[in-house]
Amino acid sequence: MANSPLNDFISKVKSKGLARTNRYTVLFTGFTSGRSRDAMLLCDQVQLPGTNFNTADIRTFGETRKTPYERLYEDINMSFYVDTDMRVKELFDDWMTWIQDPTTRNFEYYDDYTCDIIIEVQDLKNQSRYGIKLFEAYPKSIGAIQLDYAAKDVMKMSVNFAYKYYLIGEFGSIANSDNNEEGMFSPFQFLGDSLSEYAPLFNDIVGLAEAQTDPLNNFTNNLKSFAVGGVTSKVVSKLPSFFKGF
């Protein structure tokens, strides 16, 4: 049958394709130098956040209806490769320390330790197809890292992020466009024009490295060949004080 659901499905897949889980870019808006760039580039796993509603049982007549009254946003988890200098680990350690001083036990002001996180999903041609922006995000917890004499794996760390809410849109494109909102900090300002092309290439490098006999050497050697040049640290006066040091 020409119009059967199976034929329609095959035609859809052939013409449009299917989204891949390894084509994405993560941007931390508000950081201004090297360690945040390392975190962005070394993020090997991230989640598109889930959401749900709290509901109340309402009965007007007959059966009970579950009526939503509050939207809830689930925390997301990110996983990062840890570099030899431990800069990525130190970034999140310092971030947690900024939230609460371990000596005085005092908490910093909320606006000073939160930032926005942009997650973009790309197709096989590295074109952005879906974007989501998490507002007022901060690390809620950092997972333990197992050290083992018998293991030779690349060190990884997991970070759980809390945030207020998210919106869906083309935030990366907006940041690069001429219609950029006045006063909006663009993460592309200090990373250069190659950012949008670099992150998908980085994902390809990781996949190539993991397929080799010596994944660590292949990973680092290939990473060097795609290094982003011309990164300039800037201090943006409107940014929270925590992010100016990174």
Domain assignment present for 127: yes
Q: How many domains does one find in the chain?
A: 1
**Res. 153: pLDDT tops 50:** yes
Q: What integer is the mean pLDDT of 207-236?
A: 44
Domain assignment present for 11: no
Domain assignment present for 58: no
This prediction's pTM: 0.66
Query: Which residues span the domain enclosing 122?
Result: 18-50+73-245
39-88 tens-digit pLDDT: 788 898 999 999 999 999 999 888 999 999 999 999 999 999 999 999 89
Domain assignment present for 67: no
The backbone torsions φ and ψ at residue 116, rounded to the nearest 5 degrees and listed phi first, read -100, 145
**Res. 224: pLDDT tops 50:** no
233-246 tens-digit pLDDT: 332 333 455 444 44
Domain assignment present for 152: yes
Domain assignment present for 78: yes
7-45 tens-digit pLDDT: 777 777 777 778 888 889 898 887 655 667 777 888 989
| Residues 27, 122 contacting (CB under 8 angstroms) | no
Q: Does 1 or 134 have the greater pLDDT score?
A: 134
Domain assignment present for 145: yes
CA 70 to chain centre: 26
Domain assignment present for 60: no
Question: Mean pLDDT in the chain?
Answer: 75
